[in-house]
């Protein structure tokens, strides 16, 4: 499809020739985000350098009734930045300036294209940092973090993106500026800042973000506990938290993940363990020391077969390196993998892991588990070979079954990766028609013509009717009253 | 007595929508003073009560909206847990639903974060009688728009809360309050300095020429930090913090208008004639002064905003005005959840 010449003329008037990409070669790098199974080459890519240009682009798109998809670094795992047909891809990576770091008020004001890690780097000279740390933090942008409400390994204690935002400046598709929240964290009216966070680019385009900075903790300790049984390890997670300890991070890996990580990163993981817990504690020196002693004796009582405390920062980094490289490490075990993202109540960890093992055997596909146990946020990695006929479909089917298991346990189909295009089907098992209709109505309140990232995040009822036809749940067909087409 | 009144409440909402009759949502009727007055038939939520789930290992409590806040806090306390944002009750009957709808947080707010940070999920009754479920009982959840956090501080204008799931946290092992004599300007500077480091502050208050700071932590930590800060240890400090949180402190007595200003912590004292009571890190400041005082403008000019919290005269605006595009969005969102505009009309703004 060739883009509308009148639209291209308007976009060039805003950005010059250099800021508007049209050729197939120039647009190709933007055909997917980190969910590479879904690709679509955009017809037009725009690269604004200022918030005002973003606003002019949105106004032009609205004049021409053209859909527009915002994109940061393209590290998203759910296809949220997948280009849409006949649409403009709005790449925000050139809005990459840190506008202010205020050590007294402990905040940073940045443009959306600034990377997550660059905020902490800029804050470091003041003894401050930005807490949410998704594994892609070297590359992912704060704008994308806001769109996905990104998490990371330190969420239980330090919060998700939504807990660390103070103010958003947003351009609407209606051509208006919104300031949501405030640098002091209190603002009159409804807390729309929370509604915008995690809205996957469907409600507005964030052009400026003010984040809260936290003081770098005085002391950090990392404790590694090995278990010869997955269930005992999973149960230890709940015991640690019920005891009153809130770890900065509490990460779990199963045997396939441990072995893959060890052979990839040589990080000193015990190869004979069936499960591994990494428990990070941070805070004031004395408090961390007493929590560490309590955690050690508790984990021993829970049946840990081996315990090791990182001796220094270097060893701590080495022990984390295995966890942090677990995805690429597992990725070496098979030509392809899907990373799932369900969250469940912690009490169900052991049962759901057993359930996943059963589904994995039935599907004939291996699954490795490496995840944020403290948050109950699972990341089952489904290994497959796209070159084998039917294996992609089988892997997708297994993924959907795992997510349904999470919903059945009282959880959610996505903890931190977003719905995007990937989990539109599973959304139908989590929400009923009334909730989905309310989501569509919320979108219309911001975007009456449906131009912002259309087709993502919230499935249509028709799609759910089809999905329900594929998956009869407990003998009950969801959306059975809807016509099928 | 625990009871599920979803059906009756939904019937009332549907009926009111059919008649376009306004409803005034009432829980324990402890915070009716806050906001613009609402003309409407009462929709009583207090009978819809009961703690539904609390498993200490999950750090989550789920209860019906009419459950007394005191019951929630007692249930958590038996497991060594608490609501970290220390919500004010403003009366014995305060309910969970009213607490979340008003979105207020107590002394710990500057360090714990606002109430909405702890909202994980809700069941919501819409104006036209739909019962919707948003969020859930897990720590991380990005499926669908985050409607549940949007309801924190929504004053019932979008819907009637039926159930709320909140994140809870362990109680700290110990706490200590220190008092230091100083004037307002010095206290603001000291609060900023203390709040800047990694000190375990959990509350701050300046009143009557004294700065009070509360610390959380183990005894060893408290000893070490208290030596660094100085001042004298306040015995029975729980009473002090309760009186500030519940506004039973003498500062709040009498019928003069009470203004709440949230401003940048280091903003110098406002020249209003009367001394404020300062809370948190200096961010929340209470003033007793005439309702005609242009505090909406003064607070906005200082980078914050004001609320005419108590004793507003009839017809006065209570909440700081919103810019036109933002107010329009508020109205559009209200139509999504309350198409006939019957729920607490005018409680926040005349147009809402």
Asked if A187 lies within 8 A of B330 by C-beta distance, the reply is: no
d(CA A46, CA A22): 9
Of B141, B147, B321, the CB nearest to A412: B141
The pLDDT, as a whole number, for residue A469 is 53
H helix runs in A168-225, sequence order: 192-196
Taking only residues 188 to 217 of chain B, the set having a beta carbon closer than 8 angstroms to any beta carbon of chain A reads 192, 196-198, 200, 217
Give the domain B6-171+329-337 fold: 3.30.465
Q: Convert B122-136 to b/e letters by CB count within 10 Å (16 or more is b).
A: bbbbbbbbbbbbbbb
Q: What DSSP character marks residue B258? A: E
Q: Indicate the pLDDT class of residue B196, thresholds 50, 70 and 90.
A: confident
H helix runs in chain B, sequence order: 6-19, 69-77, 96-102, 109-112, 147-150, 184-196, 219-229, 237-245, 295-301, 324-337
Closest A-chain CA to B118: A163
Mean pLDDT of A149-162: 95
Of A190, A375, A443, the CB nearest to B140: A375
Q: Indicate the pLDDT class of residue A476, thresholds 50, 70 and 90.
A: very low
Closest B-chain CA to A148: B142
d(CA A193, CA A167): 7
Mean pLDDT of B139-161: 97
Q: What angle (nearest 5°) sits at the alpha carbon of residue A382, between those of residues A378 and A386?
A: 150
Fold agreement (A219-328, A334-422) = yes
Quote the pTM value. 0.96
Q: Could you report the per-residue pLDDT of A334-360, keeping only the tens digit for each?
A: 999 999 999 999 999 999 999 999 999
Q: Could you report the per-residue pLDDT of A209-249, keeping only the tens digit for each?
A: 999 999 999 999 999 999 999 999 999 999 999 999 999 99
Q: What is the mean pLDDT of chain B?
A: 96
Closest A-chain CA to B217: A287
CATH of A5-91, one of 2.40.10.10, 3.60.20.30, 3.30.43.10, 3.40.1050.10: 3.30.43.10
CATH of A334-422, one of 3.40.1160.10, 3.40.50.620, 3.30.70.2740, 3.40.50.11540: 3.30.70.2740
Cα–Cα distance list, A262 to A221, A266, A330, A383 (Å) = 21, 5, 10, 18
Give the domain A98-215 fold: 3.30.465
Of B79, B116, B225, the CB nearest to A191: B116
Asked if A347 lies within 8 A of B55 by C-beta distance, the reply is: yes
- Phi, psi for B131 (deg, rounded to 5): -110, 115
d(CA A67, CA A90): 10
Q: Could you report the per-residue pLDDT of B122-148, keeping only the tens digit for each?
A: 999 999 999 999 999 999 999 999 999
Asked if A435 lies within 8 A of B323 by C-beta distance, the reply is: no
| Chosen from A171, A188, A379 to mutate, greatest number of chain B CBs within 10 A | A188
* Residue B321, min C-alpha distance to chain A (Å): 8
A480: pLDDT strictly greater than 50: no
Helices (H) and strands (E) in chain A, counts: 17, 18
d(CA A434, CA B132): 7
A477: pLDDT strictly greater than 60: no
In chain A, where the domains are located: 5-91, 98-215, 219-328, 334-422, 426-470
* Residue A268, min C-alpha distance to chain B (Å): 30
Q: Could you report the per-residue pLDDT of A48-80, keeping only the tens digit for each?
A: 999 999 999 999 999 999 999 999 999 999 999
Q: Could you report the per-residue pLDDT of B263-306, keeping only the tens digit for each?
A: 999 899 988 888 999 999 999 999 999 999 999 999 999 999 99
Taking only residues 368 to 407 of chain A, the set having a beta carbon closer than 8 angstroms to any beta carbon of chain B reads 372, 374-377
Asked if A186 lies within 8 A of B141 by C-beta distance, the reply is: no
* CATH of segment(s) A219-328: 3.30.70.2190
In chain B, where the domains are located: 6-171+329-337, 175-253+256-310
């Amino acid at each position: 499809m060739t883009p509308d010449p009148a639209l291209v003329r308007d976009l060039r008037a805003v950005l010059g020739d250099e800021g508007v990409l049209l050729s197939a070669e120039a647009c190709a790098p933007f055909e997917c985000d980190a969910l590479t199974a879904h690709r679509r080459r955009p017809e037009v890519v725009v690269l604004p350098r200022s918030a005002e240009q973003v606003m002019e682009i949105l106004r032009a798109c609205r004049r021409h009734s053209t859909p527009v998809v915002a994109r940061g670094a393209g590290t998203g795992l759910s296809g949220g930045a997948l280009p849409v047909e006949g649409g403009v891809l709005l790449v925000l990576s050139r809005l990459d300036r840190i506008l202010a770091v205020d050590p007294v008020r402990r905040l940073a004001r940045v443009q959306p294209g600034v990377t997550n890690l660059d905020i902490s780097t800029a804050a470091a000279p003041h003894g401050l940092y930005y807490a949410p740390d998704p594994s892609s933090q070297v590359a992912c942008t704060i704008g994308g973090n806001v769109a996905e409400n990104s998490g990371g390994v330190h969420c239980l204690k330090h919060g998700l993106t939504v807990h660390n935002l103070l103010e958003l400046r947003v351009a609407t598709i209606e051509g208006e500026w919104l300031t949501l929240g405030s640098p002091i964290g209190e603002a009159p009216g409804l807390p729309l800042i929370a509604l915008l966070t995690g809205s996957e680019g469907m409600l507005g385009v964030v052009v400026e973000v003010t984040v809260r900075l936290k003081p770098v903790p005085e002391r950090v300790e990392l404790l590694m506990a090995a278990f010869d049984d997955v269930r005992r390890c999973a149960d230890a997670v709940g015991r640690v938290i019920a005891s009153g300890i809130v770890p900065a991070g509490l990460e779990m890996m199963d045997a396939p993940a441990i072995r893959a990580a060890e052979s990839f990163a040589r990080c000193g993981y015990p190869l004979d363990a069936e499960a591994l817990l990494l428990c990070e504690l941070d805070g004031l020196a004395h408090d961390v020391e007493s929590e560490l002693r309590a955690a050690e004796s508790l984990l021993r009582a829970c049946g840990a077969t081996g315990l090791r405390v990182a001796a220094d920062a270097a060893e701590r980094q080495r022990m984390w390196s295995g966890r942090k490289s677990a995805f690429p490490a597992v990725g070496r075990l098979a030509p392809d993998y899907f990373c799932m993202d369900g969250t469940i109540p912690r009490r169900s960890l052991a049962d759901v892991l057993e359930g996943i093992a059963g589904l994995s055997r039935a599907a004939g596909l291996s699954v490795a588990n490496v995840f944020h146990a403290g948050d109950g946020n699972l990341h089952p990695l489904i290994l497959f070979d796209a070159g084998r006929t039917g294996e992609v479909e089988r892997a997708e089917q297994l993924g959907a079954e795992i997510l349904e298991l999470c919903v059945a346990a009282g959880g959610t189909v996505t903890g931190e990766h977003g719905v995007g295009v990937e989990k539109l089907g599973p959304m139908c098992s989590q929400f009923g028609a009334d909730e989905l209709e309310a989501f569509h109505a919320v979108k219309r309140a911001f975007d009456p013509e449906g131009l912002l990232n259309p087709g993502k995040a919230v499935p249509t009822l028709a799609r759910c009717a089809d999905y329900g036809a594929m998956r009869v749940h407990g003998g009950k067909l969801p959306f059975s009253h809807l016509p099928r087409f | 007595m625990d009871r599920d009144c979803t059906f009756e409440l939904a019937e009332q909402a549907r009926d009111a929508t059919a008649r376009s009759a306004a409803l005034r949502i009432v829980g324990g009727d402890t915070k009716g003073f806050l906001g613009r007055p609402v003309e409407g038939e009462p929709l009583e939520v207090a009978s819809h009560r009961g703690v539904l789930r609390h498993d200490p290992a999950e750090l989550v409590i789920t209860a019906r909206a009419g459950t007394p806040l005191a019951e929630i806090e007692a249930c958590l306390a038996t497991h060594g847990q608490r609501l970290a944002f220390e919500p004010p009750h403003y009366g014995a009957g305060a309910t969970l639903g009213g607490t979340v709808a008003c979105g207020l947080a107590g002394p710990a707010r500057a360090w714990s974060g606002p109430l909405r940070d702890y909202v994980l999920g809700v069941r919501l009754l819409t104006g036209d009688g739909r019962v919707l479920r948003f969020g859930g009982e897990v720590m991380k959840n990005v499926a669908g728009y985050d409607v549940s956090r949007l309801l924190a501080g929504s004053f019932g204008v979008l819907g009637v809360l039926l159930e709320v799931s909140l994140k809870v946290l362990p109680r700290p092992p110990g706490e200590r309050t220190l008092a230091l004599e100083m004037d307002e300007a010095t206290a603001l500077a000291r609060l900023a300095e203390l709040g800047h480091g990694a000190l375990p502050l959990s509350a701050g208050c300046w009143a009557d020429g004294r700065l009070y700071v509360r610390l959380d932590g183990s005894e060893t930590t408290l000893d070490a930090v208290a030596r660094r800060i100085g001042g004298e240890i306040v015995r029975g400090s729980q009473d002090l913090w309760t009186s500030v949180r519940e506004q039973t402190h003498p500062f709040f007595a009498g019928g003069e208008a009470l203004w709440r200003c949230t401003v940048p912590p280091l903003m110098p004292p406002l020249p209003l004639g009367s001394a404020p009571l300062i809370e948190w890190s200096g961010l929340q400041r209470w003033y007793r002064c005439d309702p005609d005082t242009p505090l909406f403008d003064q607070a906005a000019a200082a980078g914050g905003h004001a609320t005419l919290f108590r004793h507003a005269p009839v017809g006065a605006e209570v909440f700081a005005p919103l810019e036109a595009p933002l107010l329009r969005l508020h109205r559009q969102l209200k139509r999504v959840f309350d198409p006939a505009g019957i729920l607490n009309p005018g409680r926040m703004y005349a147009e809402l």
